[in-house]
């Protein structure tokens, strides 16, 4: 296993965490996770593939099971102190209690060393760690949304630049994909061809992913979905691409140097879109405009989502707001925060809270029906003091 | 967000889970996670980016917050039943209890629908979900290692083939990297050059990752570490590669179609390695042989790890077994299971349990010292009825 490339890390503003601990009346905030869990990476400032402990009590303290990460953590992390199980008599505790229970004694001694008797933890904190600390007399309470996750929603200028850089790479990849579609010919069976070879979802994804790699980005998945595949927003697509049908391309890379993401979707048609798809596309562009008109500090994510639902419902399209069982129409939320996670707070959804300057969000209305296909358009923007700045420079083009 | 490509999924053998539930005297096993958590993907047979609930009570039942995944889950998952919050009067519960508490009432009703009053959960099950279910009177207990994680350690023939396929891609990537080193020249400042350009860790990583993409694999990270970087097993490496110093290349890709991983490490020197590095390399090859000699069903992971520690300690090299505070020498475990996770059970480590046919493990001894650099050699093998089969076909070559 290996770690992320080094980066000039931004220092998080944790005053909201200090206030949270005061209000909750607890001694500290505790994490037990590897740094794939973004709260852990954000609070510890350290990148490790295996779970470790972070305690925040005004200062940041790290605890590692082994010595392996010790030296690097002292060099790279933002913690005031870095310790190991061995620093808390781990072996003698193993001899006395066995390997499993020993860990809870090490953790309890670690907390006691900082006079921490009570901790708040995120909602997805590991149950076994919590129960074992409770057995040792530590008060462990899970918060609702995760205060660190909430803090992460508001980006510094440095973080906005990280996302902007990832978005430039994203646009280079979208350009490579659109160029493939433009360069394609329509075969007799209406599948697309490039240089006499059938153009598949897999081929376009490979072009996108190689382009992202060349730009220092990695990604788990890309969506290049045509026809019925495109009617399922979570179907990544497969097989030949077909003329006259919408092709949804949704790219959400992670910049390997900073670990921050970008996110963008375009829908293209090679050939002649049907009347329905044309209407869907126009409606979705209008829904996107309505969302951006509503996007400003003080508005809620629910307001922005409602603006999109209004456009679709006024045109007679089904939405989850109107029918919470529908599987066609506008069947997802309007958008989500983007940062260390590609899906994070805030929500542009029925339960979306108040928007603040520094929130980075996607705006991604769409319509879906297996009988027709799917249309989705997605930009990424940052909420500013007086509205928003669209971080997306890629044009919105439909027929290629 | 998008999902993994479709695959011909293998059906897990869950008889051990049935036995576990009987022994524990609980009604079911419960997961609350997205399918990045491999236990969730394995038990549900479903790939989703957002957390969902899986209940196993002899049959498998899925519960989704929204309708978005509903259709695809019915088509693609291995579950007997697929339901949504809305199927348990979610909205009326939100009106009565508020959005947060409503979820715990939905979950409790979902469990009650299958007469489940008590559940076992994995150690990293989300605390908030557990506490909220306990408030509803459900008995929730975390198991130690995670029974599904334990079951996943033993691979079917299909899973072994998945890893074998990923390993072939891994070897193509290693070949591309080794070829770059072979083709390089040594500049006056002893950095490596290719076509007059300095050969960096980043350049070799890009070559590796593009090769993996062309072979249908993705990866989060690759290690190409030279000099002091190589002395830290979790430093991925950066900057120019230097002649006469060991370069550790550790590649652990995921096959995108199957989600199964491979893992391999080689250490190369361009030019003339120092005497110490030569000794380390020979020692590490002998440690590897000793590990494979010990690798068979009935032996424990601890036995295999001890065989490696014996070789190193007999040669006077520090090990964590000998000194649990050392930061030089052999400072990690001998190996780990590989499958849906690149790090999974079994452990080839001091606490490693009994090995069984079908276990896929890495053997990766190594020596590290910032003053010297690092040497690591890693193969991947499957434990068989009468020993093991090495799944690695890539030769072990040192000086290129």
Q: Please determine, for residue A275, whether its predicted confidence score (pLDDT) is greater than 90.
A: yes
Q: Please determine, for residue B219, whether its predicted confidence score (pLDDT) is greater than 90.
A: no
- Residue pLDDT, tens place only, A55-82: 999 999 999 998 778 888 998 999 999 9
Task: State the CB neighbour count (10 A cutoff) for residue A239.
Answer: 13
Q: Retrieve residue B338's tokens.
A: 């590989």
Residues sharing a CB contact under 8 Å with residue A92, sequence separation 6 or more, in sequence order = none
Looking at residue A1, its pLDDT comes to: 33
DSSP letter for A243, please.
Answer: T
Give the residues across from B363 on adjacent strands.
Answer: B379
Nearest Cα to Cα of residue A67 among B301, B364, B321: B321
Cβ proximity of B55 and B111 under 8 Å = yes
Q: Please determine, for residue B331, whether its predicted confidence score (pLDDT) is greater than 50.
A: yes
Query: Which of A215, A220, A259, A323 should we substitute to test contact with B (largest number of B Cβ atoms within 10 Å)?
Result: A220
- Residue pLDDT, tens place only, B81-128: 999 999 999 999 999 999 889 999 999 999 999 999 999 999 999 999
CA distance A202 to A206: 6
Contact B214 A220 (CB under 8 A): no
CA B242 distance to own-chain centroid: 30
Chain A residue closest to B83 (CA)?
Answer: A325
The alpha-carbon gap from A129 to the nearest alpha carbon of chain B, in Å, equals: 8
Query: Which residue among A1, A234, A237 places its CB closest to the CB of B252?
Result: A1
Task: State the CB neighbour count (10 A cutoff) for residue A347.
Answer: 23
Q: Retrieve residue B270's tokens.
A: 């361009």
Place of tokens 């929730």: B140
Chain A residues inside the 8 Å CB shell of B90: 324
Cβ proximity of B3 and B32 under 8 Å = no
Chain A and chain B share a number of CB contacts under 8 A equal to 167
Q: Please determine, for residue A6, whether its predicted confidence score (pLDDT) is greater than 60.
A: no
Q: Please determine, for residue B31, whether its predicted confidence score (pLDDT) is greater than 50.
A: yes
Burial environment of residue A284 by CB neighbours within 10 A (0 to 12, 13 to 18, 19 or more)? buried
Chain B residue closest to A217 (CA)?
Answer: B220
Query: Which residue among A142, A213, A325 places its CB closest to the CB of B86?
Result: A325
Looking at residue B166, its pLDDT comes to: 98
Query: Which residue among B69, B90, B223 places its CB closest to the CB of A2?
Result: B223
Among A287-296, B215-224, B337-346, the least confident range = B215-224
Rounded to an integer, the average pLDDT of A300-319 is 98
CA distance B245 to B372: 8
CA distance B1 to A366: 14
Looking at residue A208, its pLDDT comes to: 96
Chain A residue closest to B94 (CA)?
Answer: A351
Contact A124 B123 (CB under 8 A): no
CA distance A202 to A226: 12
CA distance B203 to B195: 13
Chain A residues inside the 8 Å CB shell of B140: 127
Contact A331 B67 (CB under 8 A): yes
**Helices (H), ranges, chain B:** 15-24, 38-44, 70-76, 90-97, 99-113, 127-135, 147-153, 157-183, 201-214, 275-294, 301-314
Q: Please determine, for residue A215, whether its predicted confidence score (pLDDT) is greater than 70.
A: yes
Pairing of strands A387-390, A379-384: antiparallel
Chain B residues inside the 8 Å CB shell of A218: 209, 218-220
Contact B221 A325 (CB under 8 A): no
In the structure, what pLDDT confidence band is assigned to residue A390 with cuts at 50, 70 and 90?
very high
Cβ proximity of A303 and A346 under 8 Å = no
Q: Retrieve residue A252's tokens.
A: 């959400």
Among A5-14, B368-377, B380-389, the least confident range = A5-14
CA distance B129 to A124: 8
Give the CA diameter of chain A.
76
CA angle B278–B281–B284, rounded 5-degree value = 150
Chain A residue closest to B229 (CA)?
Answer: A72
CA angle B388–B349–B292, rounded 5-degree value = 25
Rounded to an integer, the average pLDDT of A136-161 is 95
Q: Retrieve residue B325's tokens.
A: 């505070």
Looking at residue B182, its pLDDT comes to: 97
Chain A residue closest to B212 (CA)?
Answer: A210
Query: Which residue among A142, A213, A232 places its CB closest to the CB of B206?
Result: A213
DSSP letter for A327, please.
Answer: S
Q: Please determine, for residue B17, whether its predicted confidence score (pLDDT) is greater than 60.
A: yes
Contact A206 B221 (CB under 8 A): no
Query: Which residue among B4, B90, B140 places its CB closest to the CB of A221?
Result: B4
Rounded to an integer, the average pLDDT of A95-102 is 92
CA A14 distance to own-chain centroid: 21
Q: Kind and range of the H or E element at A37?
A: none
- Residue pLDDT, tens place only, A13-47: 999 999 999 999 999 999 999 999 999 999 999 99
Rounded to an integer, the average pLDDT of A115-134 is 98
Q: Please determine, for residue B293, whether its predicted confidence score (pLDDT) is greater than 90.
A: yes
Burial environment of residue B115 by CB neighbours within 10 A (0 to 12, 13 to 18, 19 or more)? exposed
CA angle A371–A377–A382, rounded 5-degree value = 150
Rounded to an integer, the average pLDDT of B347-372 is 96
Percent of chain B residues past pLDDT 90, beyond the cut: 89
Q: Please determine, for residue A4, whether its predicted confidence score (pLDDT) is greater than 50.
A: no
Contact B70 A327 (CB under 8 A): yes
Among A74-83, A171-180, B8-17, the least confident range = B8-17
CA distance B339 to B261: 5
Looking at residue B148, its pLDDT comes to: 97
- Indicate left, alpha or beta for A347 from its phi (over 0: left) and psi (-120 to 50: alpha): beta
Query: Which residue among A124, A218, A235 places its CB closest to the CB of B220?
Result: A218
Looking at residue B5, its pLDDT comes to: 39
The alpha-carbon gap from B306 to the nearest alpha carbon of chain A, in Å, equals: 17
Among A322-326, B50-54, B237-241, the least confident range = A322-326
Q: Retrieve residue A302's tokens.
A: 């629910």
Give the residues across from A329 on adjacent strands.
Answer: A368
Rounded to an integer, the average pLDDT of B9-24 is 90
Cβ proximity of A93 and A71 under 8 Å = no
Chain A residues inside the 8 Å CB shell of B127: 121, 123-127, 130, 140, 142
Query: Which residue among B72, B100, B121 places its CB closest to the CB of A232?
Result: B72
**Helices B301-314 & B275-294, crossing angle to 10 degrees?**
150
Contact A342 B1 (CB under 8 A): yes
Burial environment of residue A355 by CB neighbours within 10 A (0 to 12, 13 to 18, 19 or more)? buried
Q: Please determine, for residue B2, whether its predicted confidence score (pLDDT) is greater than 70.
A: no
The alpha-carbon gap from B67 to the nearest alpha carbon of chain A, in Å, equals: 7
Q: Kind and range of the H or E element at B324?
A: none
Query: Which residue among B67, B140, B209 places its CB closest to the CB of A325?
Result: B67
In the structure, what pLDDT confidence band is assigned to residue B233 with cuts at 50, 70 and 90?
confident
Q: Retrieve residue B62's tokens.
A: 């899925």
Among A123-132, A307-316, B20-29, B215-224, the least confident range = B215-224
Place of tokens 């079911």: B28
Q: Please determine, for residue A264, whether its predicted confidence score (pLDDT) is greater than 50.
A: yes
In the structure, what pLDDT confidence band is assigned to residue A175 with cuts at 50, 70 and 90?
very high
Q: Please determine, for residue B1, whether its predicted confidence score (pLDDT) is greater than 50.
A: no
DSSP letter for A336, please.
Answer: E
Q: B31-51 in b/e burial notation, b at 16+ Cβ within 10 A?
A: bbbebbbbbbbbbbbbbbbeb
Looking at residue A3, its pLDDT comes to: 37
Percent of chain B residues past pLDDT 70, beyond the cut: 98
Contact A140 B125 (CB under 8 A): no
CA distance B280 to A106: 35
Looking at residue B9, its pLDDT comes to: 59
Looking at residue B6, its pLDDT comes to: 41
Domains of chain A: residue spans and CATH? 14-152 (3.40.350.10), 154-390 (3.90.230.10)
Chain B residues inside the 8 Å CB shell of A351: 99
A312-317 contacts: CB < 8 A, separation 24 or more? A312/A283, A312/A287, A312/A365, A312/A367, A315/A279, A315/A283, A317/A283, A317/A367
Contact A236 B131 (CB under 8 A): no
Rounded to an integer, the average pLDDT of A195-221 is 92
CA distance A363 to A284: 11
Chain A residues inside the 8 Å CB shell of B351: 99
Contact B70 A100 (CB under 8 A): no
The alpha-carbon gap from B54 to the nearest alpha carbon of chain A, in Å, equals: 16
Looking at residue A239, its pLDDT comes to: 96
Chain B residues inside the 8 Å CB shell of A235: 2-3, 72
Nearest Cα to Cα of residue B277 among A325, A61, B285: B285
Q: Please determine, for residue B261, whether its predicted confidence score (pLDDT) is greater than 90.
A: yes
Query: Which of A39, A67, A125, A128 should we substitute to test contact with B (largest number of B Cβ atoms within 10 Å)?
Result: A128
Q: Please determine, for residue B7, whether its predicted confidence score (pLDDT) is greater than 50.
A: no
Looking at residue B49, its pLDDT comes to: 87
Query: Which of A103, A127, A362 should we substitute to test contact with B (largest number of B Cβ atoms within 10 Å)?
Result: A127
Across chain B, mean pLDDT equals 94
CA distance B30 to B54: 6
**What 3-state DSSP class applies to A382?**
strand
Chain A residues inside the 8 Å CB shell of B1: 221, 234, 250, 252, 342-343
Q: Please determine, for residue A221, whether its predicted confidence score (pLDDT) is greater than 90.
A: no
Structure pTM? 0.92
Q: Please determine, for residue A347, whether its predicted confidence score (pLDDT) is greater than 90.
A: yes
Chain A residues inside the 8 Å CB shell of B234: 1-3, 48-49, 68-69, 72
Nearest Cα to Cα of residue A73 among A104, A109, A47: A47
CA A354 distance to own-chain centroid: 19
Looking at residue B273, its pLDDT comes to: 96
Q: Retrieve residue B137's tokens.
A: 């009177």
Looking at residue A9, its pLDDT comes to: 59
Q: Retrieve residue B57's tokens.
A: 């009570």
């Amino acid at each position: 296993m290996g770690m992320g490339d080094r980066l000039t890390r931004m220092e998080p503003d944790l005053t909201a965490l200090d206030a949270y601990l005061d209000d909750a009346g607890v001694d500290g905030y505790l994490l037990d996770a590897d740094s794939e869990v973004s709260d852990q990476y954000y609070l510890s400032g350290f990148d490790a593939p295996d779970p470790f402990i972070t305690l925040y009590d005004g200062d940041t303290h790290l605890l590692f099971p082994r010595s392996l990460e010790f030296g690097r953590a002292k060099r790279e992390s933002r913690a005031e102190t870095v310790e190991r199980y061995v620093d808390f008599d781990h072996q003698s505790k193993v001899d006395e209690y066995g390997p499993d229970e020993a860990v809870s004694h090490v953790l309890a001694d670690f907390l006691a060393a900082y006079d921490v008797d009570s901790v708040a933890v995120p909602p997805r904190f590991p149950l076994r760690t919590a129960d074992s600390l409770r057995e040792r007399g530590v008060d462990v309470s899970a918060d609702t949304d995760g205060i660190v996750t909430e803090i992460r929603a508001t980006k510094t200028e440095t973080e906005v630049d990280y996302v902007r850089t990832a978005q430039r790479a994203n646009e280079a990849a979208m350009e490579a994909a659109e160029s493939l579609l433009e360069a394609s010919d329509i075969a007799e069976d209406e599948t697309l061809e490039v240089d006499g070879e059938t153009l598949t979802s897999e081929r376009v994804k490979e072009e996108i992913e190689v382009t992202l790699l060349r730009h220092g980005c990695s990604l788990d998945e890309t969506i290049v979905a045509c026809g019925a595949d495109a009617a399922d927003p979570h179907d990544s697509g497969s097989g030949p691409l077909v003329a006259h049908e919408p092709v949804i391309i949704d790219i959400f890379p992670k910049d390997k140097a900073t670990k921050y993401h970008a996110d963008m979707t375009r829908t293209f048609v090679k050939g002649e879109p049907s009347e329905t798809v044309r209407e869907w596309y126009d409606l979705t562009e209008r829904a996107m405009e309505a969302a951006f008109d509503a996007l400003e500090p003080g508005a809620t994510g629910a307001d922005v989502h409602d603006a999109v639902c209004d456009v679709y419902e006024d045109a007679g399209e089904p939405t989850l707001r109107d029918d919470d069982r529908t599987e066609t129409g506008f069947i997802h939320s309007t958008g989500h925060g983007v940062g260390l996670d590609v899906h994070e707070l805030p929500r542009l959804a029925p339960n979306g809270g108040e928007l603040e300057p520094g929130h980075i969000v996607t705006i991604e209305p769409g319509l879906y029906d297996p009988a027709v296909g799917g249309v989705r358009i997605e930009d990424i923007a940052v909420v500013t003091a007086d509205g928003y700045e669209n971080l997306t420079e890629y044009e919105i083009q439909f027929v290629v």
